């Protein structure tokens, strides 16, 4: 079964152009959505907490910033782009009391709705437009005339007009230039968490660290280890992104391809798949969500400890030194500060 996909011609920009949109939060996704909407001719304001450090940035970009309650009170579409772990409290305290009947709540990840941390009232639409890329890429691609693919779904269609709204919004942020895939809050939430935990973030990070440790413990230079198990990863991933695993194997030497076949399965053994199934089960039964939220609401002690431990792995020091010496280094994101635990 092929997923249902939508493109620019399936979406009517005038739907979202006739609405007032409030983007709550001005971080990675928030700044990209707000600026892309504005550039698509949509009336948009940014809702931020009093004294938020993002206020100046949003105002400098020419956007109107309002206190969250005020932004919500005047909006037809409320876009919730605060971090997932604060959305429930934010919703209860500052969104729900001011939400207009007949308005729409739009998310970019299904976490809070799917796991029940936010219960939207009857009479509002609950929808999602989730870019499949970081917010900074969503903005850069839009400015370049392209777009990042998005997932689209409708959890609650009180107005009967939720689908035209979702597609129109996806078009306004550039998503339908690339393509919008129809899914559900459940599927988006569970597959997103699984992907980032087992492969994209968790799996890859652990694989790189083990590879680095193995070479360094065997007496090789850390800089060499960094190049072989970390730097070149991007080149491999770019090829996979262009033409699948087959293109990566086609482009590498026969030696590399043969080593891939005989050693890949020795490193990533079938019990890794069993562990992946355990991770998926914990996502599906809500225990990952609970562990994350319980830690967050009690001061994020575990989260901050793990972040600090990750940043003190020796590969981070070697990587910083190596990257500073080479011309490929690019600082595209002025708000990212390498090596700062406190970011």
Active site amino acids: 109
Q: Which of 15, 16, 30, 203 binds ligand NAD (CB under 6 A)?
A: 30
Residue 28 touches ligand NAD, criterion: CB under 6 A? yes
x-marked contacts with Mg ion along 13-42 as a string, rule CB under 5 A = ------------------------------
Structure tokens at 62: 């020419």
Residue 183 touches ligand NAD, criterion: CB under 6 A? no
Contacts with ligand NAD by CB under 6 A: the residue count is 22
Q: Which of 82, 106, 152, 230 binds ligand NAD (CB under 6 A)?
A: 82
The distance of closest approach from Cβ of residue 191 to Mg ion in the complex, given in angstroms and rounded to an integer, is 8
Q: What angle is formed at CA 273 by the lines to CA 267 and CA 275, rounded to 5 degrees?
A: 100
Binding region for ligand NAD (CB under 6 A) out of 23-31, 173-181, 231-239, 248-256: 23-31
Binding region for ligand NAD (CB under 6 A) out of 76-84, 96-104, 195-203, 240-248: 76-84
Tell how many helices (H) and how many strands (E) occur in the chain.
18, 9
CB 105 within 8 Å of CB 76:
no
Calpha distance 274→279 (Å, rounded)? 9
The distance of closest approach from Cβ of residue 105 to ligand NAD in the complex, given in angstroms and rounded to an integer, is 12
Calpha distance 215→208 (Å, rounded)? 11
Element (H, E) at 280: helix 270-284
Q: For residues 93 and 242, which CB has a smaller minimum distance to ligand NAD in the complex?
A: 93
108 binds, among ligand NAD, Mg ion, none (CB under 5 to 8 A by kind): ligand NAD
The distance of closest approach from Cβ of residue 51 to Mg ion in the complex, given in angstroms and rounded to an integer, is 30
Residue with tokens 């939220």: 293
Residue 134 touches ligand NAD, criterion: CB under 6 A? yes
Angle between helices 301-311 and 287-297 (to 10 degrees): 90
**Other residues' Cβ atoms within 10 Å of the Cβ of residue 326:** 8
Q: Which of 192, 216, 283, 293 binds Mg ion (CB under 5 A)?
A: 192
95 binds, among ligand NAD, Mg ion, none (CB under 5 to 8 A by kind): none
Residue 84 touches Mg ion, criterion: CB under 5 A? no
CB 157 within 8 Å of CB 163:
yes
CB 225 within 8 Å of CB 215:
yes
Calpha distance 201→307 (Å, rounded)? 13
The distance of closest approach from Cβ of residue 66 to ligand NAD in the complex, given in angstroms and rounded to an integer, is 13
Q: What is the 3-state secondary structure (H, E, C) of 128-143?
A: EEEECCCHHHHHHHHH
Structure tokens at 246: 């087959």
Q: For residues 100 and 132, which CB has a smaller minimum distance to Mg ion in the complex?
A: 132
Residue 214 DSSP symbol: H
Q: Which of 21, 63, 88, 90 binds ligand NAD (CB under 6 A)?
A: 90
Q: Which of residues 160-189 bind Mg ion (CB under 5 A)?
A: none
Sign of CA dihedral 138, 144, 150, 154: positive
| Residues within the interface to ligand NAD (CB under 6 A) | 25-30, 48-49, 52, 54, 81-84, 86, 90, 108-109, 130-131, 134-135
């Amino acid at each position: 079964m092929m997923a249902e996909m939508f493109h620019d011609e399936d979406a009517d920009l005038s739907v979202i152009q006739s609405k007032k949109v409030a983007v709550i939060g001005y971080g990675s996704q928030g700044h990209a959505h707000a600026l892309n909407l504005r550039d698509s001719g949509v009336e948009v304001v940014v809702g931020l907490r009093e004294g938020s450090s993002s206020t100046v940035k949003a105002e400098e970009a020419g956007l109107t910033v309002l206190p969250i309650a005020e932004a919500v009170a005047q909006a037809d579409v409320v876009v919730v782009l605060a971090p997932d772990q604060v959305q429930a409290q934010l919703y209860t305290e500052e969104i729900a009391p001011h939400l207009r009947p007949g308005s729409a709540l739009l998310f970019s990840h299904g976490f809070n709705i799917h796991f029940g941390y936010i219960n939207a009232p009857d009479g509002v639409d609950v929808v999602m437009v989730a870019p499949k890329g970081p917010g900074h890429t969503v903005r850069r691609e839009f400015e370049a005339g392209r777009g990042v693919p998005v997932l689209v779904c409708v959890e609650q269609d009180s107005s009967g007009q939720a689908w035209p709204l979702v597609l129109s919004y996806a078009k306004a942020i550039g998503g339908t230039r690339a393509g919008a895939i129809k899914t559900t809050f459940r599927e988006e939430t569970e597959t997103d968490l699984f992907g980032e935990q087992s492969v994209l973030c968790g799996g890859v990070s652990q694989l790189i660290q083990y590879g680095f440790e193995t070479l360094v413990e065997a007496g090789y230079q850390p800089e060499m280890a960094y190049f072989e198990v970390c730097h070149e990863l991007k080149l491999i991933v770019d090829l996979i992104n262009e033409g699948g695993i087959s293109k990566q194997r086609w482009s590498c030497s026969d030696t590399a391809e043969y080593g891939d076949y005989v050693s890949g399965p020795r490193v990533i053994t079938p019990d890794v798949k069993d562990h992946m199934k355990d991770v998926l089960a914990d996502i599906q039964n809500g225990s990952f969500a609970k562990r994350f939220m319980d830690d967050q609401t009690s001061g994020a002690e575990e989260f901050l400890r793990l972040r600090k431990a990750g940043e003190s792995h020796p590969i981070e020091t070697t990587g910083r030194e190596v990257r500073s010496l080479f011309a490929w280094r690019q600082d595209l994101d002025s708000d990212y500060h390498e090596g700062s635990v406190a970011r």
